[in-house]
Amino acid sequence: MSASDRHTIDLTAVECAADALFGRDPQRGTTLALVVMHRGQFVFERYGVQPDTIFGPGGPVTADTALISWSMAKSITHAAVGILVGEGRLSLTAPAPVPSWKGTEKEAITLQHLLDMRSGLQWVEEYSLDAPSDVVEMLYGSGAADMAAYASGLPLAHAPGDVWNYSSGTSIIVSRIIGDVVGGGREGMEAFLRDRLFLLAGMTSAVPKFDDSATFIGSSYVYATARDFARFGELYRNDGVAADGTRVLPAGWSAHAATFTAVDPDGPFSYGAHWWLWPDFPGSLACHGYEYQRTVVLPDREMVVVHLGKTTDEGADELHVHLRAVFQSASNGA
């Protein structure tokens, strides 16, 4: 039996998990899209209905509906860094090229510290409006016009490299670094993401958003279809090689993403470098976003699973149970 023959998928099990996900109590979670790729092919997809909101009416979600990434964008930011590292235009171990840090104690912060969420910068990642929150202040308050200036201007709370602290501000600093290297303002960055990443990966629907200073909001805002988020996961499953054989990311960049950095003290996951890890699925790596957006890459099962929607904290465990059932529908080739 060949290695590929050992990799099978039980689509009946996927259907059962999908039924459970789409049938959840809306107070705990609403599924808008579930897409499964196996061995590079779309083998399952189902879509829900966007509820009406204060921003406008909802409606049916389809394969062509672009949905928000939230913090899954951080993993896209990791990919953009990889392209520049592969070209020698960025160094992981040199002081991060933030002009305002030169000659200060922040100069000890490296790009690797930023990708690992170990910059040492003060940050509160809190999405409640009833508590102090740097992420809310950056995205929607006084920092919104120039998010990188807000995040990079915060004081050091720890020595760089010592303490893990998940921070959307860190990702915005990385985004500004990428934009400075690429040049050309917003147009230059849009072209770089489009021509060097999205189109090569087959992500024709992907739209990045920018703040008023022309910085890519690489912490939170990429819109794309569920299929295109799956194609992004597939790029990492294949170590940065696109479906047509084009190398998009440097060899080993997927392993860089999946290199353990820390255990999340608030949940069952670990962290790599701007990617999450599911410890009960060794070798996995995942994009996570607010309201529990998920793009999970399982190389040993030749699988990528995307779940998009709105899940509450109370419904998170239930969501993850059903997603694990989807993962387990594919053999691991053992």
Instruction: Give pLDDT tens digits for 198-227.
Output: 999 999 999 999 999 999 999 999 999 999
pLDDT in tens, 147-203: 999 999 999 999 999 999 999 999 999 999 999 999 999 999 999 999 999 999 999
% of residues, the chain, pLDDT over 70: 97
- CATH for 4-328, options being 3.40.710.10, 3.20.19.10, 2.20.25.160, 3.40.50.720: 3.40.710.10
pLDDT at position 3, please? 42
Sequence spans of domains, the chain: 4-328
**Rounded CA gap, 262 and 115, in Å?**
12
Return the half-sphere exposure (C-beta side, CA atoms, 13 A cut-off) of residue 2.
Answer: 2
Any bridge partners for residue 216, and if so which? 210
In this predicted model, which residue has the larger pLDDT, 28 or 129?
28
Average pLDDT score over the chain: 95
pLDDT at position 56, please? 78
Q: Do 80 and 111 touch, CB atoms closer than 8 A?
A: no
Distance of CA 14 to the CA centre of its chain: 23
Instruction: Supply the DSSP string of 106-131, one letter for each residue.
Output: GGG-BHHHHHTT---B-------TTS
Q: Give the gyration radius of the chain's Cα atoms.
A: 19
Is the pLDDT score of 231 beyond 80? yes
Q: Do 112 and 275 touch, CB atoms closer than 8 A?
A: no
| Structure confidence at residue 264 as a pLDDT band (50, 70, 90) | very high
pLDDT at position 4, please? 44
pLDDT at position 2, please? 38
**Rounded CA gap, 328 and 334, in Å?**
13
Phi, psi of 311 (to 5 degrees): -120, 135
Q: Do 229 and 242 touch, CB atoms closer than 8 A?
A: no
pTM: 0.96
Alpha-carbon dihedral sign for residues 152, 157, 158, 161: negative
Alpha-carbon dihedral sign for residues 94, 97, 103, 104: negative
pLDDT at position 333, please? 67
pLDDT at position 334, please? 58
